Amino acid sequence: METDHFIELREVDKFFLKGSSRIGALSNINIEVKAQEFLGVIGPSGSGKSTLLNIIGCLDQPSRGSYHFAGKDVSGLNDDELSRLRSNHIGFIFQTFNLIPRYTIQQNIMMPFLYRETLRENVMEKAKNILAQVGLTDRRHHSPSEVSGGELQRAAIARALIIDPLLILADEPTGNLDSQTGREILDLLKGLNEQGTTVILVTHDVKVAAYARRIIKLNDGCLVYDRGLHEVVDDLS
C-alpha cells in the first residue's frame, strides 16, 4: 500500500458482544496521521477514545475495516505479531503510570528489554541517558512509592522512550497530576514531538488537548470532526 500516511484507519468499526447484544464502540472511523504529527483526541466519557487508542496501539483489532501502521496492514496480524510491533515501535503512557512497586525507577524503565537479547550493560546505559532526558537521574534508585506523581509520570514517559518508539500514545497522562506538574508533562511531550516523535494524546480536558496541533473529536463512537488546532479554538476555550 503506497501512502505518505504513518497511520491510516479506513471504515473502522469496533463492537463488543454482551450476551446476545452487540454494543458498538466505534463506527465508520476514517483517520490519517502523518509521521511527526501531534494529534489530540477529545470527547466525553464513553465516546470511544480509549477504544480508538487501543486499536492504534495494536492492543485490540477492528471488528471491521482496515488499519495500516507505517505502511503495514496490521488488521490481520496474530497476537505474537501485534506484540512484536508494540514492543518495537509504540510507547504507551497511561494515567495510572503502571510502574511495578517492587522495582526501582531505573529497573521499571528497563522493563521493555526484559525478554530481549540485549546486553544488560547497554540497556543500563540507555536507561541512564533517558532518565537524564526526563530529569530523573537523582531518582533512579528510588522505588515508585518514594517519588512524586509528576516523577512517576516522567518515569512512565522514560519507559516509553527507551525503545526509541515511532509513536507515543498518551491516555489521559495528566489526569492524576496537579495543574503545574501536568503542564510540565505536556511540555515534555511537546518537546519529544518537536524532536520528531509522533504523539497521539487522548484527553477529556480541552486545555490539555490544546497542546496538540490537530484535534479530532469523538462522540458515541463517531468522528465528529478532524481539524487543525486553529480551527477549534472556540471548542477548546
Q: Which positions ≥6 away from 2 have C-beta within 8 Å?
A: none
Report the distance separating Cα 179 and Cα 234, nearest Å. 22
Please tell me the predicted confidence (pLDDT) of residue 51: 94
Report the distance separating Cα 131 and Cα 16, nearest Å. 40
Q: 49 and 202 in contact (C-beta within 8 Å)?
A: yes
Q: Which domains does the chain have, with CATH numbers?
A: 7-236 (3.40.50.300)
Please tell me the predicted confidence (pLDDT) of residue 235: 67
C-alpha cell at 74: 496490521
Q: Which positions ≥6 away from 52 have C-beta within 8 Å?
A: 26, 29, 41, 202, 218
Is 8 strand, coil or helix? strand
Average pLDDT over residues 36-40: 96
Please tell me the predicted confidence (pLDDT) of residue 147: 95
Report the distance separating Cα 221 and Cα 23, nearest Å. 11
C-alpha cell at 229: 488546532
Is the sign of the CA dihedral 93, 97, 99, 105 positive or negative? Answer: positive
C-alpha cell at 188: 515534555
C-alpha cell at 12: 473502522
C-alpha cell at 11: 471504515
Question: Which tens digits make up the pLDDT trace of 165-213?
Answer: 999 999 999 988 889 999 999 999 999 999 999 999 999 888 899 999 9
What is the average pLDDT score of the chain?
89
Spell out where 19-156 has E strands: 21-33, 38-42, 64-69, 72-73, 90-94
Judge whether residue 3 has pLDDT over 50. no
Question: Which tens digits make up the pLDDT trace of 47-72?
Answer: 999 999 999 999 999 999 999 999 89
pTM attached to this predicted model = 0.89
Q: Which residues is 32 bridged to in the sheet?
A: 8
Can you spell out the DSSP letters for 122-168?
Answer: HHHHHHHHHHHHTT-GGGTTS-GGGS-HHHHHHHHHHHHHTT--SEE
